[in-house]
Amino acid sequence: MKTMGEKPLTPGLLWLAIPYFLLATAMYYFHEQTVYLGVHVLYKMVFAVLIAGLSFVVFLMKTDLGRAKNLGKYFMLLILPHLVVLLVTVPLWVFRMSPMEVIRRGAFAQIYCIAIILAGTGILYVFGKKGLWLNLFAMLTANLITIAGAIRQTGLGEYLKQFVALVRSFGKENGAGISAAEINELTFALGLYLLFLLLEWKTLRKTKIFFPMLVLTAFCYFSGFKRIGAFAVLLCLAASLLLSALTAGKERRKGWLLFFSAAVVLVAFLYLVVVREGLFDFLEKHFDLNTMGRKTLNSLVGQYYKIAPDYLGQGAGFVSRLFSNELIGTSTVRALHNDILALYIDIGFWGFWLWMTVFMPLRVMFVSKWQGVRGGIVCACLCLFVLVTAFTDNTIYYVYVIGTVSLLTMSGSYREPVPGKGGAG
């Protein structure tokens, strides 16, 4: 296993951290705002491009080809799912004569994700593993600004009271004050960081800022509490324990990681099947479970797809456009809240299997090769978090989530070998 050398914390690097921190904070704060550049572009993409551009300038001024090559292979691996969507979709757009709005939505969703992956790559090139903390600090700062606004409206005491009620009720009691802190995309990204800090606590606790950052991350995540995210964190921690026991840190047992990854993909497909057969209707009828309107949402798209090898898809952007003006009662619905199904409807039966393969099994295989068994386990858990939350939310296309998964996966390149454990930390 090859690792990239850590960069010393020099005065020059500290000064350089200031513009990166400001740009990253802005990227995470302006999560929905757009700027008109011929077409409406999200601010977060603009800031991601600026971060990537600044990193390229640093590369030209202080070139480290070894570091760039190492990060480059991760970048290519991580953008593969987005390239798959475009590869599968372009013929569908042409064949179905898709409206320009569908094409624009489908293309920009992938471009945004590639841009933020590139930004994360740049941060790690410049700062090494310290970039992991810089990015988290920017993310927390952006979220805390929003939380401070909510506290200003409600008062600190009332906010904390609502916070405790929210956590105690496992997300059911959501007061008006604390609901202002619920930014879905950023909350799920913080959930990923929380998972990563818990998975890697044995190594990261050596860093002085680990415990303060862990506490702040937990506070911000639970301020925007997502139940499926909390469930996913617990499931991923259990999966990590299981995979650690099966592999016992031995390189020759990497096959368990691939088996686990393939099993997750199969479960994702079976989930599509049971949703098609009326899962949410069954849950509401027999368990009196409130599915938060997902029964209605899934019934709306039933006419557009089938579970069969001859279903080729509608093209990326189709589901996004379909729900852009969809009315249910008096409310406008902006998303299907089931990205696993949305992905399938967009790119079809074979596109779905190809996307899933490059997103998890292929990624886990290469990361295990580059980082060792422990790196493969962490990668598998990060991928599992995204897929589990995508069962009931939009995490496959959440830009912050994709960027966070990518940065945390790449940060494993700094994993130090552990004697007798095949390089797994």
Predicted pLDDT of residue 353: 97
User: How far is CA 422 from each of CA 4, 156, 415, rounded to the nearest angstrom?
Assistant: 17, 49, 12
Predicted pLDDT of residue 398: 92
- Exposure b/e, 85-117, CB count within 10 A at least 16 = b: bbebbeebbeeeebeeebbbbbbbbbebbbbbb
Question: Is 355 a residue whose pLDDT tops 80?
Answer: yes
Can you tell me the distance from the alpha carbon of 221 to that of 211, in angstroms, rounded to the nearest whole number? Answer: 15
> What's phi and psi for 393, nearest 5 deg?
-145, -165
Q: How confident is the model at residue 172 (pLDDT cuts 50, 70, 90)?
A: confident
Can you tell me the distance from the alpha carbon of 120 to that of 51, in angstroms, rounded to the nearest whole number? Answer: 8
> What's phi and psi for 419, nearest 5 deg?
-50, 130
Predicted pLDDT of residue 158: 87
Q: Which residue has the higher pLDDT, 60 or 326?
A: 60
Predicted pLDDT of residue 33: 85
Can you tell me the distance from the alpha carbon of 237 to that of 151, in angstroms, rounded to the nearest whole number? Answer: 32
Q: How confident is the model at residue 28 (pLDDT cuts 50, 70, 90)?
A: very high
8 Å CB contact between 13 and 127: yes
Lowest mean pLDDT among 40-44, 54-58, 292-296: 292-296
Q: Which residue has the higher pLDDT, 286 or 259?
A: 259
- Exposure b/e, 233-251, CB count within 10 A at least 16 = b: beebeebbeebeebbebeb
Identify the residue whose tokens are 């069962």.
Answer: 391
Q: Which residue has the higher pLDDT, 160 or 324?
A: 160
Tokens matching residue 65 = 């080809």
Can you tell me the distance from the alpha carbon of 135 to that of 196, in angstroms, rounded to the nearest whole number? Answer: 14
pTM: 0.90
- 203, with CB counted inside 10 A (0-12, 13-18, 19+), is middle
8 Å CB contact between 395 and 188: yes
Find the radius of gyration of the CA atoms of the chain. Answer: 21
* Rounded average pLDDT over 31-38: 82
Question: Is 163 a residue whose pLDDT tops 80?
Answer: yes
